[in-house]
Amino acid sequence: MRDENKMVLRSIEIKNFRNHIHTQIEFSDNLNLFVGGNAQGKTSILEAISYLCLTKSFNANSDFYVLNFGSKFFEVFGKFRFDDGHEVSVRVSFDDEQGKKVFLNRENVEKFSTIINKLPVVILTPRTKEVMYGSPEDRRKFFDLAIAQLNSVYVDEFLDYKKILRQRNRILNAIANEEIKLEQGIDLLDVWDEEFINYSAKLIFRKIRFISDFIGFFKSTYSNFGENESAEIEYSTQIEVSAQDDFETVRERFRAMLNKMRSEEIKRGVTLIGPHRDDYIFKINGWEVRKFASQGQMKTFLVALTMAKFFYLKEKKLETPILLLDDVFAELDVERAKKMLSFIGNVGQVFITATDLDVLSGMEGGFKIKKFIVNSGRVFDA
């Protein structure tokens, strides 16, 4: 049945990636546990998997950071199988001269959004908690990625929006610094604003629909943790909008707000409204998590967000995402992490790093587990 599709990463081959010079691994289609001391190269394996599904690392902002010191190129090659039996291979290579190249079944992929959309992955790493503690940008990134995984058009719209925003900021900055005359600046703004309004409205429209859809998955996963509380996510943007509004309404409200802000934008020399300033507000029983929640509540919220994303993508894409859990036993505490695995573990394929080989004890019965020891960039069956 289509609904039972499960995407599986069968194997990976990694060359010159962080401290892995040449690593080859055949995975279990259920739980994979990587164990080793600090700085041995466990997280690097998850990063390599992230290159296959997202074309980049969840930890490094530049491909140069993962390129092994002293090597001229790195390469990650993975074979995926979908439940209907068909296989897909992905190769990501990087070198100084050619930059990054991505191949899907040996064919060069021009738009990386194709990969992001095709191979759903959900990642929980120590850095994911920035969604809870960090800036609005950290929250936007979390949700933007989920929308992009769902809909590849979103990536293109997002990149176009950023280009238009940069142009607009250049003009506003030039007016504020008196590099161009006010009338000339206003003429230029008028040229860009129609597109700016269009793209802003497109992104806001998608985001508001995404959240209103996602919230149900989130609430039910949160309640699965047995907390007798009601958890909420609110999308916060500068215009009044609801999931019932059509695109035209969103666009016209945005236009009105932009007109209202024009003199202030000219004075400040920067774009003051748009989806690049949105945020997501997390609440428990009506109060804001960031201000009032305990560490434990924050952790449960974060796990619920991650699991909700997993089940949301699974249902919407009719394909089970793979799940990368980096150091979660230390980050979340063992009980919370095990509970999470008991919900997800028998549904999908999971990759976990830990410093302790026995961390899954008590769970072995229900799962197909493969354990690996990671030592100085080399991987051995445990």
Ligand X SMILES: Nc1ncnc2c1ncn2[C@@H]1O[C@H](COP(=O)(O)OP(=O)(O)OP(=O)(O)O)[C@@H](O)[C@H]1O
Residues tagged in the binding site annotation: 36-43
The smaller minimum CB distance to ligand X, of residues 65 and 287, is found at 65
Please state whether 85 falls in left (phi above 0), alpha (psi between -120 and 50) or beta.
Answer: left
The smaller minimum CB distance to ligand X, of residues 36 and 348, is found at 36
Q: Report the alpha-carbon distance of residue 50 to residue 195 in Å, rounded.
A: 33
Largest CA distance in the chain: 73
Structure tokens at 302: 């974060």
Secondary structure class of 122 (helix, strand, coil): strand
Q: How many CA atoms lie within 13 A of 332 on its CB side?
A: 28
**Dihedral sign from CA coordinates of 184, 186, 189, 191:** negative
The torsion of the CA quartet 317, 319, 325, 328, rounded to 10 degrees, works out to 70
The smaller minimum CB distance to ligand X, of residues 68 and 198, is found at 68
Q: Tell me the binding residues for ATP.
A: 36-43
- The nearest distance, CB 29 to ligand X, in angstroms, is 23
Binding region for ligand X (CB under 6 A): 18-19, 36, 38-44, 65-69, 327, 353, 355, 374
Pairing of strands 369-375, 20-26: unpaired
Q: Report the alpha-carbon distance of residue 110 to residue 103 in Å, rounded.
A: 9
Strand ranges inside 203-340, DSSP E:
231-236, 279-284, 287-288, 322-325
- The nearest distance, CB 105 to ligand X, in angstroms, is 28
Crossing angle of helices 247-268 and 182-224, in 10° steps, is 130
Q: Report the alpha-carbon distance of residue 100 to residue 119 in Å, rounded.
A: 18
Q: Report the alpha-carbon distance of residue 364 to residue 370 in Å, rounded.
A: 10
- The nearest distance, CB 196 to ligand X, in angstroms, is 39
302 phi, psi to nearest 5 deg: -65, -40
